[in-house]
Structure formats: structure tokens, C-alpha cells
Amino acid sequence: MVELKGSGAESIIGVSDITENRSIWTALIAEFVGTFLLVAIGCGSCIAISASRVSSEVQIALTFGLIVAAMAQSIGHVSGCHINPAVTASLFVTGDIKLLKSLLYILVQCIGAAAGAAFLKFMLPESAVGNLGMTSVNAALTPAQGFLFELTLTFVLLFVVQAVCDGRRKDIKGSVPLAIGLAVAVVHLCGIQFTGSSVNPARTLGPAIVMNLWENHWVYWAGPISGGVLAGLLYKLVFKVQKGDNDSYDF
């Protein structure tokens, strides 16, 4: 058997994260719960229970932003509160999480999203289910344009995540969960009319599975993952605080 521990391969694959770290199971449960609630609550805000009531873009944006902030405050210390495959992919390319742990996180996020969507449908009367808050590319856009919107919106979100999670920064005096929640809200305020502003493949996958809606589904994986990876690489290569740079950021 090839010994991976301590090798370059181990630094990427991270076998020890799974075999020697019992807290991985707690982290996976946290990712499941966080993504479950994100989809159940977030997609719930997209649904009008009667014809006389319509969900506004502001309501949806604030709901998604606040539920992400709440989950980050609740389980951030347990799993990092990724609850989004794009976040996990971004942190993987910057070396903040290993491959095996990343794959398990993404798997659990997808399961949690599907469970959250199924639970939401179960709670709703049949007349109110609709498309269960499913995201879709605006008919005025091509799928390629939808991809670019999702890439750009997720880039903004992950650029903020990378910045506020930079362990060497000393200037962050406020709340990290609040900063991330506000980033989620602002990209929704911009993007809902164009693509539904998924910025999270799991968020779209959950309703897609439950409602069997797959049109342009690739947009909601390719766009967010690409945006997250680009944001991670740019922040790490250009903006990440280096040793000796802290004084420049200490306001």
C-alpha cells in the first residue's frame, strides 16, 4: 500500500481528514442541516401561498442572505458553513480544504438540499407548490448569458468569503456571517431577474430533483463553480495577506 501521510499527495487528498478525525462526521451533519435549512427557508420565500400574494425580489434576497448569515453564525465553528458546492470548490483550490473532505461536503450538501426541497413540498398545499422556488434562466437570455451571470454573481460572493475568512487579516472588526449574508443578499438583488440568482448548485439541485425540472441545469453548476474557483485563485494569488503585511491593513 502506498503511504500517503506526510506526502505531497496527502496534502491534496487528505486521507487523514477522514480516517483520523472523528469530527468529520459532526461537520458533515452540520453541512446537511445547514443546506437543508437554506433550501427549505430560502425557497420557501419564493412561494406565494395565495394568488393575492406575490414574493418580492427584496423579500427573497433578504431571506437567502439572512438564512446564510444565521447558519454561518450557528455552524461556522463546526464545518465552516460551506452549505454550497461553489464555496467548497473555491476553498479547495486555495488549499483550505482537502479533496476527500471536499467531495464528502458536496455530496452531503446535495443530499441536504434535496431533503430540504422535499420537506418544503411536504409542508405546502398542492396549489402553492408551483416550481418550488426553482431557478431558471430568463427567456430573454441565452444559456451562455445565464452562465456568465451565475459566474459573476458567485465570483462576488466567493471573493467576499475568501476575504473575510483570511486568517491573517487584523482589520475585520465586524461580523463575518453578516458580511457573507449581505453578499448573498446583494447578488440576489441583482441576479433574481436574470437567472434566479442561484450562486449555489445545491440550492438549484434540490428543487430540480423534487420537481424533475432540469432545463439549463448545467448553468447552475458550471457558472457558480467557475465563479468560485476564479474568486479563490484571484484572492490567493493577488490579495491574500502575507506575513509582514498586516500593518498595512490595521486601521
How is the chain split into domains, by residue range? 14-249
pLDDT at residue number 2: 35
* Eight-class DSSP state of 249: G
Compute the C-alpha angle 28/30/196, nearest 5°. 100
For residue 248 the three cell numbers come to: 498595512
pLDDT at 78 over 50: yes
In 3D, which of 198, 84, 194 has the Cα closest to residue 134? 198
pLDDT at 130 over 50: yes
Cα–Cα distance between 198 and 190 in angstroms, integer?
11
pLDDT over 70 percentage in the chain: 91
User: Which CATH number applies to 14-249: 3.40.1390.10, 1.10.20.10, 1.20.1080.10, 3.30.750.24?
Assistant: 1.20.1080.10
Q: Which of 6-15, 32-41, 69-78, 192-201 has the least mean pLDDT?
A: 6-15
Residue indicated by cell numbers 509582514: 244
**Is 45:59 a contact under the CB 8 Å cutoff?**
yes
pTM equals 0.91
